[in-house]
Amino acid sequence: MNATIISIGDEILIGQVLNTNAAYIAEKLNSVGIEAARILTVGDDEVEILNAFKENYSRYDIIIVTGGLGPTQDDVTRSAVCKFFDLKLLSSNEVRINVEEFLKKRNRKWSDAAENQTLFPAGAKVIRNKYGTAAGEFFESDNKYFIVLPGVPYEMESMMEDFVIPFFLEIKMNRYILHRTLMTTGIAESELAGRLGNLDNILQGAKLAFLPSPTGVRLRITISGTGKNQCENKIQTIESHIREKANKFIYGVDEESLEEALGRILVERKLTIAIAESCTGGMIAHKITNVPGSSRYFERAIVAYSNQSKINQLHVPKELIEKHGAVSKEVAEAMAFGIRQDAGTDIGISTTGIAGPTGGTGEKPVGLVWTGYSDANETIAQKFNFGDGRLRIKERASQAAMDFVRRKILKIE
C-alpha cells in the first residue's frame, strides 16, 4: 500500500511554519510498511483542497490530511471533505462529549466556537482528540483509507499513535520498509561516491541516498520486502560493503550526532577533555554539553577570542602570536596544550580561525581554521579552509575539531 500526505495551511506555503507534520507521518507510516509516495502542501482554499483530494484519491491507497479542522473562517477542510464525499456536516454527540470534557478540564465555558467543533461529516468514524477540540475523521471504502487529522502537531501525533498506526498494524500489512543511515564527516559527497564505486550489484533493488550537509554526508540505505529478517540481512550486507570502503569517515548510525559518538568513545576509554575556542565562540562546548552525561568527560571550556585572552587564560606566549599570528598552527597547538595543562584533562582541543566576512588576506583567507589537539604524548594541529559563510565556518570547524579527537583516540589517520 502507498500513501499521500496532504498538509493544509497558508502558514506552510509562506514559510512561516515548517511542515514537521508530514515528516512525522511519513516516518510512522514507514514503520508499519507503508510508503509515503507523495507529500503535498495546499493553502486554506477550498477549491485547491478539493482539487488535491480528487487528484490523489484515485492514485493512492491511503490519504492522510492534516490541518484546517479548527473553528475559524480559514479552517475549511471539513467542508471540503463533505463536498468531496457528498456528505452533510452534522452535530455529533460523540464529538460533543469530547469537547465538553476538554473544556471542563481547562475550566473554559461553552462558546460558539465549541459548538462549531461538534460539527462532523455524517458517516465518518470519529478519531478522538485527547488534547484538543478538533476530532479526526476516518473514512474506509473499497480498500482505500482517507484520514483527516488536526494540524496542531501534538494533537496529530497522539491520533497517529493511538489510532492510525494501531489500525494498520491490526490489518497485518505483512510488508516492511527498513532504513539505516550511516553518518559520515570529513569527506565530500563526490569523493565519498567515488570511494564507494558502482553499487548496483550490492544494492539489487535497495536504495542508497547521499544526503550532504555543511558538516558531513548521511548515507541512507532503504529496503522494502515481506520478510523482516531478510530485509535486515540485506541492509547489513550493504552496510558492511560501505564500511569496507569508507569506515574511517563513519562516526555513527541513524541519527547519532558526532558529539554523541565522541562522548561514547570518551566514556569507553575513561578520558576527559577540555576545550579552548576562539573562532567557534563556544559552539563545541555547546554541542558536547548537549549530550546527557557529558559531565563524566567534559571538564571545562574557555572562549579566548582576543589575543590578550589567549595570553592571559591559555598562557599562549605573546611572542608566538606576534611571530605567527593568532590564526596559525603554533597558536592552535599552544591553545590546546594550555587548556589541557590548566584543566588537568587527558585531552585538550582548540580552534582559531577567520570566520569572516572580513579579516581575510591572501595568505590567510576567510574560512582558514586551525584546530589543535594535545594529549600526554603529543601536541599537533590541523589546517582547514571551510570557504565562506560565518555560521557555516563555525559549524564546520566545530565538527572538524570533534572529529579530530575521535580519529586520534581511535588511531585513524
Residuewise pLDDT in 10s, the chain (413 residues): 899 999 999 999 999 999 999 999 999 999 888 999 999 999 999 999 999 999 999 999 999 999 999 988 889 999 999 999 999 999 999 999 999 999 999 899 999 999 999 999 999 999 999 999 999 999 998 889 999 999 999 999 999 999 999 999 888 667 788 899 999 999 999 999 999 999 888 998 899 999 999 999 999 999 988 888 889 999 999 999 999 999 999 999 998 999 999 999 999 999 999 999 999 999 999 999 999 999 999 999 999 999 999 999 999 999 999 999 999 999 999 999 999 999 999 999 999 999 999 999 999 999 999 999 999 999 999 999 999 999 999 999 999 999 999 999 999 98
pLDDT at 173 (0 to 100): 61
Rounded to whole angstroms, the Cα distance separating 347 from 377 reads 10
> Distance from first CA to last CA of the chain, Å, rounded?
47
Name the phi and psi angles at 74, rounded to 5: -85, -5
User: Dihedral of the CA atoms 352, 358, 359, 363 (nearest 10)?
Assistant: 90
Q: At 283, which amino acid appears?
A: M
Rounded to whole angstroms, the Cα distance separating 298 from 288 reads 8
CA atoms within 13 A on the CB side of 314: 38
- The verdict on pTM exceeding 0.85 is no
Domains in the chain, ordered, with CATH?
2-170 (3.40.980.10), 176-253 (3.30.70.2860), 258-410 (3.90.950.20)
Q: At 119, which amino acid appears?
A: L
Rounded to whole angstroms, the Cα distance separating 175 from 324 reads 62
Question: 284: closest CA among 261, 296, 302?
Answer: 302
Cell of 348: 585538550
Per DSSP, what are the bridge partners of residue 348?
274, 374
Question: 366: closest CA among 394, 386, 340?
Answer: 386
Q: At 368, which amino acid appears?
A: L
Rounded to whole angstroms, the Cα distance separating 343 from 348 reads 9
Cell of 158: 497522539
pLDDT at 228 (0 to 100): 82
Name the phi and psi angles at 201, rounded to 5: -70, -25
Q: Which strands make up the sheet holding 125-127, listed edge to edge?
A: 35-42, 2-8, 62-66, 144-149, 136-141, 125-127
pLDDT at 194 (0 to 100): 95
Say if CB 93 and CB 117 are below 8 A apart: no
Inter-axis angle of helices 258-269 and 390-410, nearest 10: 30
